[in-house]
Amino acid sequence: MRFEINKDKLLYQLIVAQRALSHKTPNPALQGIKLDVLESHIVLTTSNSDISIQIILEDTSLSVESVGSVLIPGKYFIEIIRKLDGQTVTFSQLEDNLLRIEADHSDITLNLLEFDDYPNLVFKPKEDFIQINVRTLKTMIRQTAFATSNIENRPILTGVNFKIEGNQLTGIATDSYRLSQKTIALENDYEAMNVIIPGKSLEELLKILENNQAMVEVHFDQSRVLFKYNNVFFLSRLLEGNYPETSKLIPKEFPVRVKFNKEQLLTAIERASLLSSRDGNNAIVKLTMRQDDVVEISSNSPEIGRVLEIVYPVDEVVGSPIKIAFSSKYFIDALKVFNSSEVTVNFTGEIRPFIIQGEYDEDMLQLILPMKTD
């Protein structure tokens, strides 16, 4: 194997591939970057077993003298390429499983890893795939993945449930105290699908997707999901099992509806959560609607002090006054993913879940379970 390529072009792709590189893994092969050199292009593959990334690199600066495949220790390789001088770098495989890297004044030989130990990763696209605009997909992930559970007692809740029904794609995440759900319309009807993608995989995917108008291909399978974005293939394992049926949790009728300015409500809750004996994130905040339709946000911890915030609803309040307590973190998390400047909070009762919706956040809802207080 011998080829040369522009250093910066390679480095740019390596940084993307690095996202799936394992640092601590029982299998040393996964600490490597698999490099396949073909006649017209090179293929970079990394995997930490949860996610795997494959990048097809075609470039005018690429000139392949002979083809071959090697497994390169990832950490060293990327650092070497990063630090190299000069524009062009030449790679060649030597005997005894060595890689020679030549660039400008540098001549480096690197011990390779055992190629045969690399897992057999299949990045094969399916014929039937869906296409989503990058921005839409990113928004959908951002609006759901945060609500996944990070406690592994019920591993299934650490993932986002993706469902396709007809031309609708729905993402649902819950940690059993809150739930977020977003539905988007697809261009065509697709075969029904119901999978659970680990939240951590989706967060990594977000970092790879840029902010542009490109399309992402999503290839769902029963045991994996493959995202194809330009020349990058992103493969994630799925969580096994049945996702709880959440549709029954979402109330249909809301006797009490209040519309707020999002920023005002957010800052009021943030201030109210400051004085809490529980650690900042779990502060309990109370929302009380007065007879004159003014809303009080308050918190009280006897040993620290109390906060009372007044928030004026932006629209006429529907329903009778209500008093409810909730975790400030859940409410703040939920408000932050809205694009709308005004949000409606829909209540069904003091100890029943309430949902938040926004005018400009179509088909998205955030549900929170209230907390009991004395």
Partner 1 sequence: MTYNRLREAQSSAVQIIENSYKNQRLSHAYIFEGDAGTMKRDAAIFFASLCLCNAERKPCGECQICRRINHSAHPNVYHIKPSKKNILKEDIRLLHEEFSKTALETGPKITIIEHADRMNAYASNALLKFLEEPHPNTYALLLVEDASLLLPTIQSRAQTIHFHRLPGAIIEQHLTTTGVDPTLAKLAAQTTAHIDAAENFVNHPDLYTLIESVNQIYEAFLDQASLVLLFDKISSDLLNDELIVELYLDILIHYQKDIIYGKMDHYTKIIFEEHQDIITRVGAQKTTSMLLEELEMMMAIKVNQKHYINTRLAFDNLMLALERRNHSEE
Q: Which residues bind partner 1 (CB under 8 A)?
A: 26-29, 47, 49-50, 52, 114, 116-121, 152, 155-156, 198, 222-224, 237-241
The nearer residue to partner 1, 94 or 122, going by C-beta atoms, is: 122
Crossing angle of the two packed helices 199-208 and 134-144, in degrees rounded to 10 = 140
Rounded to a whole number of angstroms, the minimum distance from the CB of residue 187 to partner 1 is 28
The nearer residue to partner 1, 63 or 222, going by C-beta atoms, is: 222
The nearer residue to partner 1, 235 or 287, going by C-beta atoms, is: 235
The nearer residue to partner 1, 155 or 251, going by C-beta atoms, is: 155
Which ranges of 251-351 would DSSP assign to H, the alpha helix?
A: 262-272, 328-336
Rounded to a whole number of angstroms, the minimum distance from the CB of residue 73 to partner 1 is 15
188 phi, psi to nearest 5 deg = -130, 175
| CA 214 to chain CA mean position, Å | 18
Rounded to a whole number of angstroms, the minimum distance from the CB of residue 198 to partner 1 is 7
Q: Is 331 exposed, middle or buried (0-12, 13-18, 19+ CB in 10 A)?
A: buried
3-state per-residue secondary structure call for 301-337? ECCCEEEEEEECCCCCCECCCCEEEEEHHHHHHHHHC
- Cβ atoms 219, 190 nearer than 8 A: no
Position of tokens 């993706």?
A: 162
- Cβ atoms 340, 255 nearer than 8 A: no
Rounded to a whole number of angstroms, the minimum distance from the CB of residue 152 to partner 1 is 5
* CA dihedral angle for residue 228, residue 230, residue 232, residue 233, rounded to 10 degrees: 10
Rounded to a whole number of angstroms, the minimum distance from the CB of residue 207 to partner 1 is 20
Rounded to a whole number of angstroms, the minimum distance from the CB of residue 159 to partner 1 is 9
The nearer residue to partner 1, 73 or 251, going by C-beta atoms, is: 73
The nearer residue to partner 1, 102 or 221, going by C-beta atoms, is: 221
Secondary structure letter of residue 117 according to DSSP: G
